[in-house]
Structures are given as structure tokens and as C-alpha cells.
Structure 1
């Protein structure tokens, strides 16, 4: 299977999950709107979800996979099973302890880390607004956080098992597992809307749905692992050389791989000082996460095992080719997505959310944040491309410093810009920090001679940018022509039709130009469509696949 085919497999599964995630957010917006219950749920869910992203897309993909692959290669199945069992036992004991401590001290966590703005709101009740008092909003956030915190433990175990599956090149189950969360929450929301239950009850039921989905996802990947012929055993946690090496690599890797979620978490903590701002950021994050998840997660999951395998085998030319083609693939899909989301955020938000409890006044606020987020989309996907260049060489210290520096810049800018632009300032800080992180990561690889930019990457990247800008200009013209259809108050079917025309036209223009100019590799694209292995490129005997 070619590298692009693997991206397509993982990206396709992630795309399905993100589409159902859209459905979930649409129903949630209709049921909860932009208000205190929505804020409480999003704040409570963000904390365990942050750790899920750190483990699933950072620490274990960056640290566990290379070490597991080494055990598999040097010691065979028995050695790999022993290493995996050591990690499993220690991780489970740690997570159980962490969960118990967090449940006890959750009020402290909410007031200091998750939502410090709620504590300030209690001191100044006039800032609370809306239907729930400041104290009630705080209590609700604490309760929902306690309900959902075990989801963190489940997702951490899912991440470990997914790392094993990815090492065996079994990508689909791990990529498809998050869809269960969306299925369950959609079911919960459908019943709540049908029964007409109040917002607070809806928030409670959704929180329990999150926990149930965590156990369901864990069961799914464990079954897939057993079907792959591998199993792990639970034993007494022991401090071993392999576990020590894993922790040394995993800590910095978690920070690096989860920089997007760290920035969003910081943003939401700052946004908790303004009622409704947390929900605005969350609703804007969903459309932005669709291309980021489909492309970024696919690259993060596939690239590291492929790059680590090539480097361990001494195939340096193949490793360089893999890095360049991965960046080429990332830019090919994210640049046009960023341009489109920047130009037409308001019609998209209106069609997705504006119904039920989601009022028209919230549409403009969410659309403004989405437009700013869109400018950072290519940067956050490029981070997924650049980070494996360090991880595959078991170097996590250098990118950790880069990530900490950019996260510090994000915190400072979030605080400063929030006072000027409210939630738009947080989005701007996140975008600036993302580009800074991506630029510094690439500069480090290039300066150390670990990334050689080939002419094909430069040429196709320039053509991709040109095609994206032409598509953007065409979108602006099309919006002017369809202005009557896109205006607030137009029938929903008319608005959906107009957006469908815009999207279809933009895709036709972009892909047509990309194929005509050579911005897209026709051979690889057609190979993915036909699901066959492409002919290796002329640059080297090993570089056509990874």
C-alpha cells in the first residue's frame, strides 16, 4: 500500500468521524445554544479530551511506536508482548490513581485550571449573566467534569492499543473508534430533543454518554488487536529500562503532538471569563477540525511508523522522500480549505448551527472566530508533518522547547488580545502560535540537515498556493452572485443549495487547476482512486512507497 493510500485510509475513517461530529455539534447547538450549560459541558469535556489528544496524537504515536517497533524487530513477538504488557500495567495503575485524585480535587482543578473565570464570576456575580447564577455554573462544571473524567483513562488505554495496531499497519480500527463517541452523543441528543428535556438534564445525559463511549472505543480497538493476533497481559507494575525510556520520550512528545489542543485549552480557560465565549470557540472549532482531523491525524498516524521504519533500516533517501511527499500532501489539501473557510465562514455557520437555541447573533461571533482559525490551519497540519522528523530519531527535547516557547507566546497573546478582541483575540493568538511552532520546527530540521527540500516540493507547493488563491477569488465572485440566497432569513434549503454550489464550484476549480498545472501528482492520485500500488518514482528504488 502506498504512503498516499495509507493517508487516504486513515483520513477517510477520520473524515467519517468528523462528519458525524458535525451532526453532533449541530444537534448540541440546537439543544443548548450559546449559554451556561453549553459552556459547562465544553469546559468539562475539554480537560479529558485534551489528554486524549495528547496521548492518541502525541505521546504514544511519538514514543511508544518506535520503541515497540524496536522490540518487535530485535526480540520478536515475545519481546514486544512483554514490553507492551509492562507499559499496559503501569499505565493502568497510574490512570486509576490519577482518576481518583482528580475526582476528589475537581473543584480545585475547575477553579484554577479548567475554568478560572468561573471563580472570578462568583466574586463578581454581575458578570455571570444568563439564567444560571455564577455559583450554579461553577457547580455544574464541577459535576460534569467528575462524570466525564474516567473518559481520560479509557482514551489513554485506547491510544496504547492503537499504537500497537499502527505498528502492525492496522490503521482503520484506531481511526474509526472515535466515531462511536459521535454515534452515542447523537443518540442522546436525539432523545433529549424528542422528549423536550431541559438544558441541564441534557448536559448530564451527554456527560454519561461520553463515559459510555470511552469504554466502547476501548472494546473496539482491543478486539481489533486480538484479531491481528496480538495480546497483552496485566501484571504488577514494574520500573523497567523500556518503561523509563518510554516516559523520557513520551512527556515532551505529548506536549508537542498536542499543541493544537493545548492552545485551545488555554484559550477556553481565558474565555471562561466571558459568558458564552467558551461555546463560541467550541462551535468554531468543529468546522476547523474537519480538514485538520482528516489530514493532520492521517499524517500523524501514518508518517511516524513509516519514517521510523525507513530510518532504522538505513534508507535515508526513502525517509527524505517520505517527508517531502507528506508535506506536499498536507499543503495540497489544507491550503484550499484554509482559503475557503476564511472567505465563507458566516454562511457555513448559519447553515450548520442557526436553529433552535442558537440565535442569529451567535452566528456572526462564531463565524469571525472560524475565519481566524482558518488562517492557522496549514500551520497545525505542518506541525504533524515536521514533528515525526524528530520523534523517529528519538529526539523529543528539541521540539519540546519549541512547543513550550510557542505555547508561552500563545498564553501571553491570549490574555492580551482577549481584553481587546474577546474570543477573536484568543483565535488570533492560537493562529500566531501555530505558525511560530511550525516555522521553528522546520528550521530545526533544516539546520540539522534532517530535511532536504527537493525541487518537486517547492514547485508543487507554489502551484498549490496559486491554485488556492485563484479558487478564493472565484469564491468571492460566486458569493456576490448568490448573495440573495445566502442572506439571513432565506429558506434553509436555499442556503444549503447555495453553499453546495459554492463548494462544488470551488472544488472543481481547484482540482481542475491542480491537475492542469501539475500541482497534484496525477499518478499517485489515480493510484489511490484505483486502489493499486503506484510505480516507484525515478528518484530511488525504495521511495515510491513506505
Structure 2
């Protein structure tokens, strides 16, 4: 068996583990959002939580997420070093990061009111008071975010993928239990004046408890793998620490600059009633498959990119970049077609119950459609950023992010009045498109040429196929409603099952005609999984 086949099988095996674990985690996340929607609807508690969670959530995604800069930096450095060097290096990095993030935690608690005022100047007074209290409760997530991110990178470097991918379910489980118990005690709907503040506290407390559980689970596994314990170590000159920080620091700044766009979006959203809550609900639906597929693609590709950075390996690196982009298109574009064509029944099935009414669905549907448009560009940009990280270059993504901040603010300003909440989402889509163009141009020069024309033709062909699949899916869905209606949950579920099958079927039948090796790779793996099941 060739080394290439071994590498491919290794990538596929890792992707399978990550996909299953992330799927389980996302299912718990979906249940969490359904519980929140049923309890609070599109109301002040969720609107306040959307702002209170901005900074803790930003840090969890930035520092504590799979494929975040902490994860990427540790994987890129530890993958090139002997395992015996890992524990002291990880403990030193953990000490340095913890001291800094502890200061951030204290600042968030003391100045919570100021942060909420800056984030949401248009927020009504009731929601603002709830948001301040929620932020103070969730402030320790700043420290936990860094520890979780280090755990992700360390465990992946030790070839452990199951626990890091499944551990986010602890957060979802804690929120579900907290909100569920409170709703049971008070008898149902918490979206009433008497329970708004208490409901907000329980929602924030459950989020904090979930983050703590996630970190403890990782720490135990990290210790068992011999990759470091909970120990203070101040040897900043230890070999490898500088290498980690050289990637981690600019990568964190780069990703942080990207998340400033989230702040900008929410700043403008605060002037639109319930926009933040609508964006939260719509974004979660898109992030569910996006998170699963991004982990399948990014997690196994990151160490591969890191091993192919020398000039003699550039042909293989270019092939892996192509694979990453085309696999992204093959998985994201049919989902884009589905989220645009079936936005209404999707929102009705997932959220419309309890305090979440038909009027709330009408607010969230166009937001979901807008998020669907940007799926490929979001993940495609992340693929290219990881290539720069593997090359030891965190500065280029950082510089591009600065450009993006200005562009995002301008587009938000231009779009939020005429297009409302979807306009804010489209501003982010535009930023990601520009990022991909810039990154591809720089890589084309740095790697002495990329087959950009060939890649563009393939991507445009897949985009055209997704349009056809979307139109076909919409037609089938419309016909279904005319014949059977959609007046109950079972009919809606059956409608979604049939129409989503049509979308994927049409897309793959047409994509096969392009005879792309990535299509064969994807189909082969799906068939293998099906046969094993």
C-alpha cells in the first residue's frame, strides 16, 4: 500500500470520527436551541443573551474552538515534535495563557455594563439589564475558553479526536437541564415579565457550567495521554513555546479581528427589533451542518498542510488545497440550496412551538436564507487561513482581517436599513468572498502558481448545479403543500425528508457528470459508511 493511500485512509478515518462525534454534539445543541426557543421565543431574554454571550462566545470560538488559533498553533507545532516534549510545552503555554485570561475575566465582571452599552446602544432597558447580569455570570468563560482551546490542540496532536469533538455537548446538556428544570417548576413559558430575569440567569449559569464540564473532561484525557497536567510552569524559554506563540499570537489577532465583524453586526442589529435573537436562531441552524462538515475537513487537513510546507512538497500541498475547497463546495452548496428553498418548513419544524409563534418564524426565515448563501465562503475562507497557519504565517490573515473590518462596517451601514436583518448577514458574506479572493491571490504567488482557472470552472459548475437543485427542491416542496398540506409536525417532517432527498439527489447526480475525483472520494466514503451500518 502506498504512502498516499495510507494518508488518504488516515484522513478519511479521522474525518469519520470527527463527523460522528460532532454530529452527536450538534444534536444536543439543536435540542438546546429548541428548549430555549420554546421557553423564551424571540423575546428579551434571548435578545439579551445574544449580546451577553458575544464576548464569552467570541472567546470560546476564537480560543476554545476546534480549528481556532490555539488549536491550530498547538497542532502545527506538536505534530513536528517528539511526544516527550509535549507535556512541559503544553503546561508552559497553559500557564501563560491562563494568567492573561484571568485578567480578562475580572475586567468583564467589573465593566459588564459598559461592554453591553458599547455592543448594543439601541437595546431596550429591560433587555440591557438582563444582558449585563448574564455577562457577569458568564465572564469566567474567558479563562475556560483558552484552556479548552489548548486541550483541543493537545488532544488532536496526540491523535485523540473523539473527546474534543463531542465535548461541546456538555454545555448544551447543562443549559437544557437548567432551563428545563426552571420551566417545569414555574409551569411552562418563561417569556413573561415575572420570570425574565430569573430565566436569563439560569440560561447564563447553564452556559458557564457547561464550559467548566467541557474543560474538566479534556483535562482528564490530556493527563492520561501524557500531554500535560494542571500545573504552573514558567519556563518561557522552553523549546517550542516560542514557535507556538509565533503562530498563536498573530492567528489570535487575525481571528479576533474577524470576530470584530460580529460586534459590528450586532451593533447595527441593536437598532432592529429582535434582530439579534433572529440572527442567533438562524445562525445556529446553519452552523449545525457547517460545524460537522468543517471539522471533517479542517481537523484532518491541518496536520497534513503542516507536513507539506517545504518547496518539494508544494505539488502535494496544492492538491490538498484543491481537495479542501472542492469538498467544501460539494458539501456546502447543496445545503445552501436547501436552506434557501426550504427555509420556512425548516424553521417551523425546529422552532415553532411554545413561546415561538408563527410571527417569530416570519422574522427568522429570511435570516436563515441569507446565512445559507454564505456557507461555502465561510468554510472556504477557513480552509485557506489554515494553509497560512501551516506555513507559519499568521500575519497575512491578520492584515486581511483589518481590511475586512472596514469593509464589513461599511456594508453593514449600507445594508441594514434597506434590507433589515438579512442585510447584516449579507455584509458578512461579502467580507468572506473578498477574503477568499485575496488569500488565493497571495497563495498563487507564494506557491509559484495555482490552477485557479481550473478550480474556478469546477466551482462555478457546482454552483450552477446547486441552483438547479434548489429550484427542483422548491418545486417539489410547493407541490407537496398543494397536495398534502403542512398543518402538522409529521407532515412537515415528511415534507422536509422528501424534499431534502430531492435536493441532495439532484445535486449529486449532476455533480457526478463533472467526473471530479473529489466527487468519487466523497461518494466512496458515504457508500462505505452505509455498508458498514
Tell me what 2:70 maps to: 60
Match of 1:116 among 92, 113, 121: 121
Q: Where does residue 492 of structure 2 map in the other structure? A: 495
2:19 equivalent among 8, 11, 30: 11
Measure the CA separation in 2 of the matches of 1:199 and 1:487: 36
Alignment correspondent of 2:201: 204
The TM-score, its normalising length taken from structure 1, stands at 0.87
Identify which of 338, 342, 364 aligns with 2:336. Answer: 338
Match of 1:223 in 2: 220
Cα distance in 2 for partners of 1:142, 1:364 equals 29
Q: Deviations over 1:475-500 (max 9, x none)?
A: 12202212337867x22222222112
2:112 to 102, 106, 126: 106
Closer, same or farther in 2 for the Cα pair 1:201/1:451, shift >3 Å?
A: farther
1:514 pairs, out of 508, 511, 514, with 511
Cα distance, 1:467–1:425 mapped onto 2, change above 3 Å: closer
Q: Give the drift of 1:317.
A: 2.9
What is the match of residue 80 of structure 1?
Answer: 86
| Residue 479 of structure 1, aligned match among 477, 480, 483 | 477
Give the CA deviation at 1:444.
Answer: 1.4
Cα contact 1:58–1:256 (8 A) shared by 2: no
Distance 1:171 1:381 in 2: 20
Match of 1:318 among 316, 319, 328: 316
Q: What pairs with 1:81-230 in structure 2 (closer than 5 Å)?
A: 81-112=87-118, 114-118=119-123, 128=124, 134=125, 136-195=126-185, 196=187, 198-230=195-227
Shift of the 388–451 alpha-carbon distance from structure 1 to 2, 3 Å rule, reads: farther
Instruction: Write the distance in 2 (CA, Å) between the matches of 1:308 and 1:164.
Output: 15
Say which SS state the counterpart of residue 509 (structure 2) adopts.
helix
- Structure 1 CA distance for aligned equivalents of residues 454 and 163 of structure 2: 34
Count the aligned residue pairs.
511
Answer whether contact 1:463 1:518 (CA < 8 A) is retained: no
Of 354-363 and 255-264, the range deviating more from structure 2: 255-264
Distance 2:506 2:258 in 1: 30
Give me the CA root mean square deviation: 2.6
Normalising by structure 2, we get a TM-score of 0.89
Alpha-carbon distance, 1:298 to partner: 3.2
SS in 2 for 1:234: coil
2:258·2:405 contact (CA, 8 Å) conserved in 1? no
In structure 2, distance between residues paired with 1:486 and 1:279: 32
Partner Cα separation in structure 1 for residue 24 and residue 138 of structure 2: 24
Structure with larger RCO (C-alpha < 8 A, sep 6+): 1
TM alignment of 1:32-43, pairs within 5 A = 32-43=40-51
Q: Is the 8 A contact 1:166 1:305 kept in 2?
A: no
Structure 1 CA distance, aligned partners of 2:407 and 2:349?
34
Q: Is the 8 A contact 1:350 1:363 kept in 2?
A: yes
2:396 is paired with a residue whose SS is: helix
Instruction: Give the equivalent residue in structure 1 for 2:3.
Output: none
Pair 258,288 (structure 1): closer, same or farther in 2 beyond 3 Å: farther
Q: Do the aligned partners of 1:37 and 1:137 also contact (CA within 8 Å) in 2?
A: yes
Structure 1 residue 247: Cα displacement = 3.6
Give the SS at the match of 2:122.
helix
- Residue segments in structure 2 that go unaligned for 5+ positions in a row: 1-8
Quote how far apart the aligned CAs of 1:451 are. 6.1
